[in-house]
Every structure is written in structure tokens, then in C-alpha cells.
Structure 1
Amino acid sequence: MLTQNPRVVFAKRPGTRIPVPGEHIIFESSRSIDLDSVPLNGGFLTKTLMLSPEPFMRERMRDLHVPSYSTHAVLGEPLVSFGLVVVLRSEKEGINPGDHLYGLTTWEAYTVQPYVEGRARHNAEEAPDYTFDVDSLALQVVPDPKGTFPWSRYFTVLGAPGLTAFCGFEGCTDAKPGETIYVSSGASAVGIVVIQLAKAKGLKVIASAGTDNKVEYMRSLGADVAFNYRTTPVADVLKKHGPLDLYWDNVGGEVVELAIEYSRLHARLIMCGSISEYSVAPEQRHGIKNTSMIFKKRLRIEGFLVPDLAPRLAPRFFAEMPGLVAEGKITAKEHITEGLENGPDALVAVLKEGGNGAAGKPVIRVATE
């Protein structure tokens, strides 16, 4: 018997624009699948429960001539991001019906896993040595929280955002009690974990976001100074509450220049993301005009990607974080969008600065079990 298998497809490259639902990313409901007889070819069949719209998805939509840290998304294929799935059938050893898995998966209701995008791989010119294949972040079995916390925590503190924050904070900051850190986009899925890790370490935390309710959310997580960058100039806050020992960058652009200006000697700037630049042409981006202060203040600026640090730090993350979450010492909030058909709008909201204004990590609930 055939079952409808809707999906969200990458239909057109947006160039330097923010993707438009219905033009660049399209919801399709015409496909179907036979859940009982579709060939598995040694793999396993999953039902999608939740999906996570992520900023890195925009980076993969870039034009083919533009290199970056990830491979390109493929036109005509479903979008790919982190998701929670349940196994319906399996021919793969170690994967059993009823197992829940978290990792990269397709934006469709049902998928024969492991999913591999139908594309020609990059040649040497298209894949510089800083590129890694996001499709290699495979689905992994995750334990049932059994009511201790909701499944959606795997999209925040126990998933990719939490691992990103943990690896960057523990691997790059050299944070010490009493120091001051500024976290841009502090209400983001990564930012909220950085705030909590920094407070647990004894740091003074300054954090910014684009709406007043997100400011209140950051305060509830322990931020000592939380402000709305749309209504309060960043420079005013850093001048009053700095100087900075640490800056955690999630947005890029002119805020980096301000962080350099208000850093003390030997401060560290940790570069995690640059969402303000993803949909802006290079010639329109803000240039940093105070680079001489980098050597004058002996600043350290470090960028990182999780795959570089995970071999060393992921075992600690998976050993320590679930217990902290279960005890309520590390917390998070999710903003749930119902239905895959609303996925394109949910993704676009993430890619706009400030998102949809709601506090909490956006998560798309595709189905219940």
C-alpha cells in the first residue's frame, strides 16, 4: 500500500538573497512510498519526527563557484539538516525497528537510510582543504529520555548546537573565573549553551539578541548583562560593561570590529558563525577597520568547526551533558513549528536576523510516532 511521502526540495540557488519559500525551497506532496516493500539494500527505513532548520543550510545553497567549509546542496534534492527519526524496518546490523536516531537526514516524511545525495563529488579545484562533507555526520542511535526531558532537547543542548558550544568553549576559550565574555546572538541554540557554560565557569556574561523576549530569556539563563542590539547600541553596552576578555561571535560583520575595540590586552575572539553575512554580497559586507588593534592588544582570533574538535571533546560532551540536562543545570527552550509544509517558512525565519522573534531553538515537528 502506498503512503504519501511529502518533502521540501532545494529548487533554485538564491545567490546573495535570502531564500524565498516557493521559489528556492519548495514543499512537494506528490510523492509516495510503499513502507512494507520499498527495497532497503542493506540499510533501514526511517520515519521523520522532527527537523532542525539551521544557518549552515544557507551556506550550502551558495553558488557552485563559491568555496566554503561544506559541500554544496544539490538542486532537485530534499534539504538536509539535523533530524530525529524512528526506525520502521532495518537490514542493518545494530539498527533495530523502534530505535530513535539523531543526525543529518532529509526533509521528507520517510527515508531509506543511509541517505546519500545523488551528485558528482567535488574535484580538487572545487573542494579546498578546509571543506568537509556535511553528509558524513551520520545518524546515531540516541537513548529514550523516558520523560526526563523532551525529545526536542536533542536539537539544542544535547544536539549539534550543544556540541558546537561545548567544543568551542572547552577547546578554544581558555576561560577563567572572573573574566568577561560577550556572546552575540546569545538567544540562539548555540548562544544559550555558551551563556550557561560561561556562568558555570564563573564568568561575567554580556549577551545580545534582536527582540525583548529573547533578552528576558538570556537573563533567565544567567546572563549578567542582556540587551536588544536593535534598540541599544552595542558600543554603549561594551563601553560600560567591558573590557572583554572573550568574545563569542555568531554573527560576523561590524560587531567583530566593536569587540576588537572593547577588548582588553590578550583577549580571545572565538569565531563560530557569521549569519549577518550569509545573504550579503561580499562587496556589501562591513569591513573591519581596526585590525591594527589585533597586534597592539595582542589579541587571539580563532575560528573552529566541530569536526576538528569533536574527536577530543565529544566523549566528554556525551558523558557530561545528559546528566546536567536531566538535573536541570543546563536547560533550553524550543520553538515548535507544526508540519513539514511549514518548513520553508521556518528555515527562512532562522536565516533572517532575529528569526521569528520567538525565544527558543526553532524545531519542525513533522510527525508523532
Structure 2
Amino acid sequence: MLTENPRVVFAKRPGNSIPIPGEHVIFESSHSTIDLDGVPLNGGYLTKTLMLSPEPFMRERMRELSVPSYSTHAVLGAPLVGFGLVVVLRSEKEGIKPGDRLYGLTPWEAYTVQPYIEGRANYNPAEAPDYTFDVDALSLQIVPDPKGAFPWTRYFSVLGAPGLTAFCGFEGCADAKPGETIWVSSGASAVGMVVVQLAKAKGLKVIASAGADSKVEYMRSLGADVSFNYKTTPIAEVLKEHGPLDIYWDNVGGKSLEVAIEYSRLHARLIMCGAISEYALPYEQRHGIKNTNMIFKKRLRIEGFLVPDLAPRLAPRFYAEMPLLLAQGKITAKEYISEGLSSGPEALAAVLREGGNEAVGKPIIRVALD
């Protein structure tokens, strides 16, 4: 018996814009069907998608084919691929059984025969730049049932890619010491909210910024010592009063980075995690940093990172420490839920808008209950 398999498809490259729902990213409710009982598994396993996570890195994969970056290109006409939580319906793969739940990269569709191979015929690792990593490396992994200690949604925030990003970047790059001052831009984001809490646990003074008053209150509830709306309060004004900075966690790039350089202390560390303000802008419209001379004058350390570089060393600590801290209530998270796969295109667009939206917490798309 055939069952409809709705999906969210990458239909058109967005150029220098945020992907527009219905044009660049399209929900298809009845494009394909699947025989859940008879579809060949070829040694793999069949999964049902429960939840999906819109992430900024998905926009980077939509870039033009001529533009190199740290990830492979998304495939036109195929479902989007992002982090998700799935449940196994059937399996021919040793070590994976029906009922298992897995978290990792998966296509944005209701049902999938795994492992899903995205555009492999067009991908040649030998031709990829040496700074590119293959997104297929972030494959689905079985996750334990929290058994009520915390909700499954935490695998998309504190215990998922955002939490691992925050942990690896902070522990691997910050060299933080009690009493130092850190500014976390986009401090109410999925990554930023974890950085705020890690920094407070380490004994730092935390300055955090976001683009909505509701997010300012949320950052304050996480323990931020100074929490402000950068759209209504000048960044320089805040840093002049509450700095200088020992550490800057950059999620936005552009003008914010320039101001951070201006108000950094000698030997400060600037950790480059993202640049949401620039993802959809052509180069000629991006903000040029005008005070780069201060980098050598202040002997600043500016360091970019990607999780796959640091995870081999730090992921074991992350998976040992963070679930316990979460269960004990020492680390917390907030999420907001969009219902149904049809909400996917707009949920992704909202993540990519600078300042996001008024909703607070990690965005999650709930596709199915079980």
C-alpha cells in the first residue's frame, strides 16, 4: 500500500537573498509516495521523521555552484537536508532496530530509506577545496531515551548541533578565565543561549545582545549580567560602559565585529562562529572592517572554527557532561515549535533573517508525534 511522502524541496538557488518560501524552498504534499511495508532497504533502514531543525548552515549550502565554502552544495530538486530526529520503522542494518530514535542529518521528508545519499554522483572529494567537509559525515546516530529527564526537543538545542557548537567553540577557543568579560552576539539564539550559560558557569561577566526585547529578557533569565537590544541601544555605548572585552563570541559578523575589535582588551580572543548579517548580501554590500590595525596593536586573536575540527577532541566531554547538567537543571534551553512539514520553508527563512523574529528559543519543526 502506497503512502504519500510529503517533503520540502530545494527548488531554486536564492542568489544573494534569503530563500523565499514557495520560490526557492517549496513544500510538496503529494509529489511522491512510498510503500512502507515493501520498499527495498538494501541493507539500510526505513525511518519516519519526527522533528526537524532549521539551521543557518543550510543557507550556505544553497550558494551558487561556483562559490566554494566549508560544505558541499545542496542538490536542486531534492529535499533539503538538515538535522532531524527520526524513528526506525524497519531495519536490515545490524545495530539498528525498529523503535530506535536517531539524531543527525536527514532529508526534509516524512519517510526515508537510510542512509540517505544526497547527490553523491555529483560529489568528488578529490575536487573539493581543502577547507570543505562533507555534510554526510554528520550522519544519524542513535540517541538514548531521556525517560522523562528532559524532552526529546533538547536534542535540537542543548544536546544537539547548537549545543555541541557552543561547547566546542567555547572550550576549544575561548581560553576563558573567571572574572573575564565576554560579549555574546545573538545571545538568545540556539548557540548563543548555551554560550551564555557556559560562560556564567565558568565565572565570566556576560554581555549578551539580541534584536528583540523578549529575547533581552530571556538572556537575562539565563544569567547574562548585561542584556540589550542592539536595534534600540548602540553596541558601542554598551561596550564602552561594561567592557572592555576579553572574549567576543561572534554569531553575526559585519559591524558588530568592528565594534568588538574597538572595545577589546589587550590579548582578547574573538571567536568567529557565524556571520548571519552577511549570508544573504553580495560582497560589495557587506560591511568592511575599518579598524583591522587594532588587531596587531592589541595583539588580538581572531579564530574561526567548525565543529568537525574540534569534535574528535571535545565531543566525548560534551556527551558525558551536558546531559547530566541538563538533567540537574544547571543548563537549560527554550524552544518554539512549528507544526507540520508544511511550516518548514517559513521556519528556515525566519532563522536566516538578521535578528530572527520575536519568538524566543531554538526553532523546531514537529513533523509527527510518533
**Deviation at residue 74 of structure 1 after TM alignment:** 0.4
Q: For 1:20-79, what per-residue CA distance to the aligned partner results, in whole angstroms no more than 9, with x for missing partners?
A: 111100001121111000000000000000000000000000000000000000000000
User: Partner of 2:183: helix, strand, or coil?
Assistant: strand
Count the aligned residue pairs. 369
Residue-by-residue CA offset, 1:221-277 (whole Å, 9 max, x unaligned): 000000001100111001110000000000110100000000010000000001111
Aligned to 2:53: 52
Measured after TM superposition, the shift of residue 118 of structure 1 is 2.8
2:363 corresponds to which residue?
362
The amino acid of 2:268's aligned partner reads: A
Higher alpha-carbon deviation: 348-357 or 76-85: 348-357
Distance 1:286 1:177 in 2: 33
SS at match of 2:239: helix
Q: 1:245 to 1:321 in 2, by over 3 A?
A: same
User: Within 2, Cα distance between the matches of 1:283 and 1:193?
Assistant: 33
Letter in 2 for 1:23: E
Superposition deviation, residue 126 in structure 1: 5.6
Q: CA deviation at 1:148?
A: 1.1
Which residue of the partner structure matches residue 211 of structure 1?
212
CA distance in 1, matches of 2:127, 2:184: 33
8 A Cα contact 2:110 2:367, kept in partner: yes
Q: What are the superposed Cα offsets for residues 312-354 of structure 1, whole Å, 9 maximum, x if unpaired?
A: 0000000010000001100000010000001100100000012
Matches of 2:112 and 2:282 in 1, distance apart? 35
Match of residue 89 from structure 1: 90
**C-alpha deviations, 1:185-231, integer Å up to 9, x for none?**
00010000000000000000000001000000000000000000110
Q: How big is the shift at 1:120? A: 3.4
Name the residue aligned to 2:309. Answer: 308
Please state if 1:344 is matched with 2:345: yes
Distance in 2 between the 1:64 and 1:124 partners?
Answer: 15
TM superposition shift of 1:125: 8.8
Counterpart position of 1:32? 33
**How far is the alpha carbon of 1:5 from its aligned partner?**
0.6
In structure 1, the residue matched to 2:263 is 262
Q: Using the alignment, how far apart are the partners of 1:84 and 1:215 within structure 2?
A: 29
Task: Name the Cα RMSD after superposition.
Answer: 1.0
Structure 2 counterpart SS, 1:48: strand
Aligned ranges 1:109-188 → 2 under 5 Å: 109-123=110-124, 127-188=128-189
Structure 1 residue 124 displacement after superposition: 7.3
- 2:105 aligns with 104
Q: Residue type matched to 1:270 in 2?
A: I
Q: Which amino acid in 2 is paired with 1:151?
A: W
After the TM superposition, which parts of structure 1 deviate over 2 Å for at least 4 consecutive aligned residues? 118-126
Q: Which residue of 2 aligns with 1:23?
A: 23
Give, as a single letter, the amino acid of the residue that structure 1 aligns with 2:208.
Answer: A
Distance in 2, matches of 1:298 and 1:346, equals 40
| Residue type at the aligned position of 1:361 | K
Query: Is residue 158–residue 164 contact of structure 2 (8 Å, CA) maintained in 1?
Result: yes
Structure 1 pair 23–154 and aligned structure 2 pair: CA distance change class (3 A): same
Q: Shift of residue 146 of structure 1?
A: 1.0
For residues 122 and 368 of structure 1, the distance between their equivalents in structure 2, rounded to whole angstroms, comes to 35
Query: Identity percentage over the alignment?
Result: 82
Q: Which residue of 1 aligns with 2:7?
A: 7
Aligned residue for 1:189, secondary structure, equals coil
**CA contact 2:212–2:357 (8 Å) conserved in 1:** no
Amino acid in structure 1 at the alignment position of 2:74:
A
2-side partners of 1:268 and 1:147: how far apart?
A: 39
Query: What residue identity is the alignment partner of 2:4?
Result: Q
Q: Judging changes above 3 Å, is the alpha-carbon distance between structure 1 residues 116 and 122 closer, same or farther for their aligned structure 2 residues?
A: closer
AA at the equivalent of 2:73: H
| Contact 1:65–1:126 under 8 Å retained in 2 | no
Equivalent position SS for 1:335? strand
Partners in 1 of 2:93 and 2:320 — Cα distance? 26
Residue segments in structure 1 that go unaligned for 5+ positions in a row: none
Aligned pair 1:323/2:324, yes or no? Answer: yes
Q: Deviations over 1:151-198 (max 9, x none)?
A: 000000000000000000001010000000000000010000000000
- 1:67, 1:126 within 8 Å by CA — same for their partners in 2? no
Secondary structure of 1:164's counterpart equals helix
Letter aligned with residue 178 of structure 1: G
Tell me the TM-score normalized by structure 2. 0.98
- Once residues 160 and 346 of structure 1 are traced to their aligned partners in structure 2, the CA distance between those partners, rounded to angstroms, is 17
Distance 1:126 1:58, change over 3 A: farther
- Report the Cα distance in structure 2 between the residues aligned to 1:80 and 1:276, rounded to whole angstroms: 23
1:277 aligns with 2:306: no
In the aligned structure 2, how far is the partner of 1:58 from the partner of 1:124?
Answer: 21
Amino acid at match of 1:11: A
Distance in 2 between residues matched to 1:271 and 1:79, nearest whole Å:
26
Could you say which residue in structure 1 is the equivalent of 2:226?
A: 225
User: How far apart, in 2, do the equivalents of 1:347 and 1:266 lie?
Assistant: 37
Q: Deviations over 1:270-308 (max 9, x none)?
A: 000011110000111000000000000000000000000
Distance 2:83 2:304 in 1: 22
**C-alpha displacement at 1:121, in angstroms?**
3.8
Structure 2 gap ranges (5+)? none
How much does 1:122 deviate? 4.2
Following the alignment from structure 1 to structure 2, what is the Cα–Cα distance between the partners of residues 125 and 319? 35
